[in-house]
Homo-oligomer: A and B are copies of this chain.
Amino acid sequence: MPSTQRQDLSIAITGSGGAGVVSAGTLLLDMAAELGHYGLMRKAYGPQIRGGESAALLRLSTRPVHCMDDGFDLLLALDWQNTDRFAAEIPLSADSLIIADPAAGEIPAAISQSGAQIEPLPLKALAGETEGGRANMVALGLLARWLGFDHSAAQALIGAAYAGKGETIVSNSLASFERGFDTVLKHPPAQVLSTGGSAAPRWQLSGNEGCGLGALRGGVRFAAAYPITPASEMLEWLAPRLEQLGGSLLQAEDELASINMVIGASYGGVPAMTATSGPGLALMLEGFGLAIASETPVVVVNVMRGGPSTGIPTKSEQTDLNIALYGMHGDAPHLVLAALDTADCVFCTEWAVRLSEALQAAAIVLSDQGLAQSRALIDQPERRALQIPPRSLATDDGPYLRYALTEDGVSPMAIPGLENGMYTADGLEHAQSGKPSSAAADHSAQLDKRQRKLENHDYGADWAETSGGGDTAIITWGSSTGAAREARQRLAEAGHEVRLISMRLLLPASVEAMNKALEGVGRIVVVEQSHSQQFYHYLRAYYDLDVAIEVLARPGPLPITPGEIVNRILQQG
């Protein structure tokens, strides 16, 4: 266990349901927020809805962080019930410290074999010392003190968090917190987080909330959806807010309905979206194809989870890339974007909505469970004015051709209510008027047009986030970005410059931009969280990567860590 002056600390709090580990974790994050720190909190659960083993996995730092660290500095266990189920998610080492109640019994082998130092602490007994005492609050007090957090700020936060639960709960919780705060650990405190707080405005939010906000910023005013883990919170965040913005969210009977409802609303002129996860996306593909063929803008935010099939619904994986890129029948050009971190959930979703509206295109935004359900403490995301025109609307002059062959491929769209714009949108191939046609000339003209409008658009620099230099490049996408960024930084700090290309826009492919980004690169390491190397195959399919390529690909549920990437780069670099 490190002594003092750490910039960065990873803490796991585990215990069974009811013990309040998530609540303690959340409060710890809040406290860090008060002090101007950054952080991230993931949750891990057992298969039970209630009462199951759970873990709050935190990383707190004086600098922005976008991924979990390679290991944990501290594991505080309220009990050991089934903890070994996610021992693999809490990597410990001889440098780590375990705080555990001896009354909770022996430390499971899966944990103790890490060689971590152990500091026994009678958490339950301490909690028992006050009326209605709660071990999680004792733990929170302990950690707050240990991290050097401010005592009264912490008290205020606890008061606010439990305000709705009644007086007794608040006062009991505070009493327990005191007990913990008064307890001095044998192991030296990690003072560092008490210093160096940032004064910059910061946000605390989840990726799901970020996508929701991005959608609203982009102009979405209608959503239809069917609940599914891990996308539901996005919908739950959106429902009341859409309503307050004069829009609405409709809970559909299934995903077939939701995608078609969204198409209907967008056809009606209201920017619309849905959110789902793998199984739901699979059900939406036919409808998504209709949006493409009828050129109705829609956005689907797909929050990836472990697959295939029902898979591992509560864990993260980057394995819906294939279905998002290629899941439609026929030649079906569309947009695929991926959020790189929590803040980027906001930007990326807004961008997707704007692009989809401007290009009358169907867009998929890929997020994942890791991003979506983690709470992040980040710098307030900047609000950029996107230079993207709104949906091109038809005007009331002259005979109207819904699918007119324009130069940029975008045909002005009539919205019901426009007096002379009546047309029939169609998923059948059609002539410019919309009249069904199976003529080769119409087919190829419309295929060209639908491709042209996407490929000719200038996406600018946002196709990827690039940083670093040198002749080794890491190419990654979506949420693996966090770990890759940190790996690049660690390498740079160790005097080893590498480039990082983190792709945000996956379709259409940015071939030229990639070529430029790769100039002078002699070695590429592809990083992704997939067993079958979906991203690697995608890169091969679309980009000219004429140099040695290595692939660091592995499935979930464990997140890719910076250390893993660093090791890989150093192996032969």
Contact = CB atoms under 8 A, between A and B. Distances in A.
A85 B436 CA distance: 12
Interface in A151-195: none
Interface string A279-291: 1011101100110
A530 B330 CA distance: 8
A214 interface: no
A331 B429 CA distance: 32
B329 A307 contact: yes
Nearest to A281: B329
B330 A311 contact: yes
Given A319-B330, A333-B532, A531-B331, A439 B85 contact: yes
A490 interface: no
A308 B323 contact: no
Measured as residues with beta carbon below 8 angstroms from the partner, the interface class of chain A is: 35 or more
Given A279-B286, A282-B289, A558-B440, A329 B319 contact: yes
A50 interface: no
A309 to B, nearest CB: 3
A550 to B, nearest CB: 15
Contacts of A447: 531, 555
Contacts of A570: none
Contacts of A440: 88-89, 556-558
Which of A89, A286, A309, A443 has the largest count of B CB atoms less than 10 A from its CB?
A309
A312 B279 CA distance: 28
A554 interface: yes
A109 interface: no
A289 B308 contact: yes
Contacts of A319: 329-331
Contact of A88 (B292, B310, B439): B439
A451 B332 contact: no
A327 B534 CA distance: 12
Given A319-B329, A322-B326, A441 B88 contact: yes
Interface stretch (A73-81, A119-127, A387-395, A536-544): A536-544
B530 A331 contact: yes
Interface string A308-349: 111111110101101101111111110000000000000000
A308 B436 CA distance: 13
A444 interface: yes
B531 A444 contact: yes
Contacts of A135: none
A507 to B, nearest CB: 11
Given A47-B436, A540-B541, A308 B283 contact: no
Max count, chain B CB within 10 A of own CB: residue among A282, A293, A333, A554: A282
Nearest to A255: B286
Contacts of A292: 308-309
Interface in A28-80: 47
A427 B85 CA distance: 20
B306 A293 contact: no
Chain B CB within 10 A, most for which of A292, A317, A322:
A322
Contact of A428 (B281, B312, B323, B451): B312
Contacts of A317: 330
A572 interface: no
A304 B47 CA distance: 41
A113 to B, nearest CB: 15
Interface string A420-463: 00000011110000001011110110011001000000000000
Contacts of A444: 531, 554-555
A176 to B, nearest CB: 32
A309 B295 CA distance: 11
Contact of A308 (B89, B315, B332): B332
A552 to B, nearest CB: 15
B427 A310 contact: yes
Interface string A292-306: 111000000000101
- Max chain B C-beta neighbours (<10 A), residue from A310, A537, A558: A310
Interface in A509-548: 530-532, 534, 537-538, 540-542
A231 to B, nearest CB: 13
Interface string A205-226: 0000000000000000000000
Given A285-B282, A328-B282, A541-B541, A451 B531 contact: yes
A524 to B, nearest CB: 15
Nearest to A287: B282
B308 A451 contact: no
A172 B418 CA distance: 58
A322 B311 contact: no
Nearest to A286: B282
Contacts of A443: 306, 312, 555-557
Nearest to A47: B436
Given A308-B328, A323-B326, 12 more contacts: A47-B436, A282-B285, A283-B283, A285-B327, A290-B309, A293-B311, A307-B331, A310-B427, A319-B329, A322-B328, A331-B531, A331-B532
25 contacts: A47-B436, A89-B440, A256-B283, A279-B289, A282-B327, A282-B328, A282-B329, A306-B330, A308-B330, A309-B332, A309-B428, A310-B426, A312-B429, A312-B443, A314-B438, A320-B329, A322-B328, A323-B327, A331-B531, A331-B555, A438-B557, A439-B557, A440-B556, A447-B531, A451-B532
